[in-house]
A and B are shown apart, each in its own frame.
Chain A
Amino acid sequence: EAQVTQNPRYLITVTGKKLTVTCSQNMNHEYMSWYRQDPGLGLRQIYYSMNVEVTDKGDVPEGYKVSRKEKRNFPLILESPSPNQTSLYFCASSLALTDTQYFGPGTRLTVL
């Protein structure tokens, strides 16, 4: 089944404790993104990757890191999480930039 998977789905952590949210797609997609969704603010792009080893900042990259060492995986790293990073996070992928973007199920992160 073609899909985007994210893990974990739910995470409660404390300020400053490094964490990684994994994202994997099995559709051989080139373009991958991370978004955060907050009430009233909609989806905001954090980072995106046009292809392996090619990543770039989205609209709200502060406090986040990503890597794209393999085509299928695009982990999101929070090296020192803060409460303002409490949010719902989505990973998404598409064959190319303007093709249909498929979203993962979301990761709900709470930083205390």
Chain B
Amino acid sequence: QKEVEQNSGPLSVPEGAIASLNCTYSDRVSQSFFWYRQYSGKSPELIMSIYSNGDKEDGRFTAQLNKASQYVSLLIRDSQPSDSATYLCAVINFNKFYFGSGTKLNVKP
């Protein structure tokens, strides 16, 4: 079983809609969770980190963490074509990073 699982997509949403990206993780000891965005041919960049249960909002982005269900999600409100990218979920276990394989998001104008 992989440490971090994501649906590879692609997830297609119209411009202005809410995009919902999901991630599950296998190890209950995981304490730190991250969402990275990677444009095609570029390096990953951090969008959000979340450490405690509940929601964390930053502009159009909201990260949600449910440790009981071992589930992390990222909501993108008012999606823009510039949000089209691959979104990577990551967790830390014992000083090591584990990434999901990423969900490709397409935002259609």
Contact = CB atoms under 8 A, between A and B. Distances in A.
A97 B92 contact: yes
Interface of B: 4, 8, 32, 34, 43-46, 49, 51, 88, 90, 92, 95-102
Nearest to A6: B43
Majority secondary structure, B binding face? strand
B88 A90 contact: no
Given A35-B99, A48-B95, 5 more contacts: A33-B97, A40-B101, A41-B101, A101-B97, A103-B45
15 contacts: A33-B97, A43-B88, A44-B99, A45-B98, A48-B97, A56-B96, A59-B98, A90-B44, A97-B95, A98-B49, A98-B51, A98-B92, A101-B46, A101-B97, A106-B43
Contacts of A59: 96, 98
A48 B97 CA distance: 9
B41 to A, nearest CB: 9
B79 to A, nearest CB: 23
Contacts of B46: 100-101
Task: State which size class the interface on A falls in.
Answer: 20 to 34
A23 interface: no
A74 to B, nearest CB: 15
Given A40-B101, A42-B102, A48 B96 contact: yes
A22 B32 CA distance: 28
Contacts of A45: 96-99
A56 B102 CA distance: 25
Contacts of A43: 44, 88, 90, 97, 99
A111 B46 CA distance: 30
